Amino acid sequence: MRRHVTILGATGSVGRSAREVIAENPERLAVAGVVSGRDVAGLARVARESGASFAAIADEGRAGELRDALAGSGIRHGAGRSAVLDAVALDSDIVVSAISGAAGLEATFASLLPGRLVALANKESLVCAGAAVMAQASRLGARILPLDSEHNALFQVLGDEPISAVRSMTLTASGGPFRTWSAERIAAATPEQALAHPNYAMGAKITIDSASMMNKGLELIEARFLFGLGADQVDVLVHPQQIVHGLVNFRDGSVSAGMAIPDMRVAAAHCLGVDDRLHAPADRFLDLANCAPLAFERPDLARFPALALAMAALAQGGAAPAVLNAANEVAVAAFLARQLPFWAIPALVEAVCEHAGGARGAAPESVAAALDIDQEARIRARALLSEGRFAVT
């Protein structure tokens, strides 16, 4: 049976990986709709090349640009929030949720329909409203499969084992471009240096998060909700080679590893293949004999305080993860705009979390509640930025 796929975030790195897997398997998969945030030219190109029936741009002000870019194609299109939700409502079997940041929360939640599979790469949906998202999926009978490499590895390793058989799960981290740098050198890092990831070509925001190791902290929170684990049942190991993506530590002392080359198409193929694995080309298979020695080390929380902040938010629970995520998104945007030094990313996040009183509020029970928490934290982060406490000197 040919499955139809809607791709949210079709012009990003995860969307590109999903599109390549679909193109490799035309007898099994087809694109139904594509969504992008602001990249009109990229969206129009992707829509035409993939044979999508509908294209949506999230930026409502670019409706005219998209209309002109798709002129003569016969592809239906729209702009703004309603158009994104129209794309989600298309008659598709799988939705790839790869819109970056909290902006993807509403669309991810709306994607949860009876019998539908959501291939989740938008970790912020679970960071901001994990309990609500997982409860909605359970109520409706939707399936969530993790599209992040680490969570996908853990999902595959777990298999049919009950979660009660698990003692803990370990996510691996590359360590980013600053793994061996001193604290002083990290503090003074430029955007160009932070964007030079050693293993993956990703969007700017997630690449900066990898450099600060906030990304791994967000992934810990995601794993806690995705697998129904306690905050003390997830941890991180730095593994520069990125061959082992996750480890499941079972209660009997057994440890099973999920391994693959560092390529997002591997996880995408697993999600899009659903219960009948797709065939991958030869260059996507792992050859352990030709791998460098595999090394593992504990993360240095002193040099990477963003990871420590995320771990604290995970332990705190409630509204803390949503506050953390919102503050981090503002801080990363300011860093990329050269309004904030690299050392100040975790400093600003910590200040926002402290202002929220440790974010002792209850966990959001709806998308609206999560977005309210998100907006309040962003307002505070921008206010702190305007005071100049963390300005570039």
Q: Are residues 10 and 105 in the same domain?
A: yes
Considering the domain architecture, whether residues 230 and 378 belong to the same structural domain is answered as no
Q: Is pLDDT of 359 > 60? A: no
144: left (phi over 0), alpha (psi -120 to 50) or beta: beta
**Residue 226: in which H helix or E strand, if any?**
helix 214-226
Please tell me whether residues 203 and 308 are part of one structural domain: yes
The verdict on 257 and 332 lying in the same domain is no
pLDDT category at 100 given cuts 50, 70, 90 is confident
**Is residue 275, in this structure, part of any structural domain at all?**
no
- The pLDDT of residue 197: 81
The stretch 314-328 carries a mean pLDDT of 96
Same domain, yes or no: 120 and 194: no
Q: How many domains does the chain have?
A: 3
In a domain, 356, yes or no: yes
Q: Helix, strand or coil for residue 198?
A: coil
In a domain, 249, yes or no: yes
Side by side, the strands of the sheet bearing 244-250 are: 234-238, 166-173, 244-250, 255-259
Examine residue 326 and state whether it is found in any structural domain, yes or no.
yes
- Give the tens place of pLDDT for each residue, 135-187: 999 999 999 999 999 999 999 999 999 999 999 999 999 999 999 999 999 99
Last residue of a domain, one of 299, 325, 360: 299
Average pLDDT rounded to a whole number, residues 115-143: 95
Instruction: Note the pLDDT of residue 1.
Output: 81
CATH of the domain at 335: 1.10.1740.10
Same domain for 333 and 367?
yes
Cβ atoms of 328 and 214 within 8 Å: the answer is: yes
Q: What is the DSSP string of 23-55?
A: HH-TTTEEEEEEEESS-HHHHHHHHHHHT-SEE
**How many C-beta atoms surround the C-beta of residue 341 within 10 A?**
18
Distances from the Cα of 374 to the Cα of 293, 343, 388, angstroms: 42, 23, 22
In a domain, 155, yes or no: yes
The domain boundary, picked from 147, 167, 191, lies at 147
Same domain, 247 and 316: no
Same domain, 185 and 293: no
Task: Specify whether 37 is located in the same domain as 102.
Answer: yes
CATH number at residue 142: 3.40.50.720
Residue 360's pLDDT band (boundaries 50, 70, 90)?
A: low
Dist. CA 189–CA 185, nearest whole Å: 6
In a domain, 17, yes or no: yes
Residue 268 included in any domain: no
DSSP 8-state assignment for residue 4 = E
The model's pTM is 0.94
Q: How far is CA 289 from the centre of its chain?
A: 31
Residues listed for the chain: 393
Tokens (6 digits) for 230: 């306690």
Residue 121 has pLDDT above 90, yes or no: yes
Check residue 262 and give its pLDDT. 94
- Per the domain annotation, does 269 fall within a domain? no
Give the pLDDT band (50/70/90) at residue 336: very high
Q: Coil, helix or strand for 379?
A: helix
Kind and range of the H or E run holding 186? helix 183-187
Q: Do residues 17 and 201 make contact, with C-beta atoms less than 8 angstroms apart? A: no
Tokens matching residue 76: 């239906």
CB hemisphere CA count around 295 (13 angstroms): 10
Residues 132 and 190 in one domain: no
Closest CA to 233 of 242, 225, 243, 241: 225
Residue 77 reports pLDDT greater than 90: yes
Exposed / middle / buried, residue 328 (Cβ in 10 Å: 0-12, 13-18, 19+): buried
Pair (24, 126) in one structural domain: yes
pLDDT greater at residue 330 or residue 103: 330
Q: Measured over all CA atoms, what is the biggest interatomic distance in the chain, rounded to whole angstroms?
A: 62
Helix or strand holding residue 382 (H, E): helix 367-386
pLDDT in tens, 181-224: 999 999 999 999 999 987 777 888 999 999 999 999 999 999 99
Confidence of residue 393 (pLDDT cuts 50, 70, 90): low
Statement to judge: residues 295 and 310 lie in one domain: no
Range of the domain at 191: 180-208+300-393
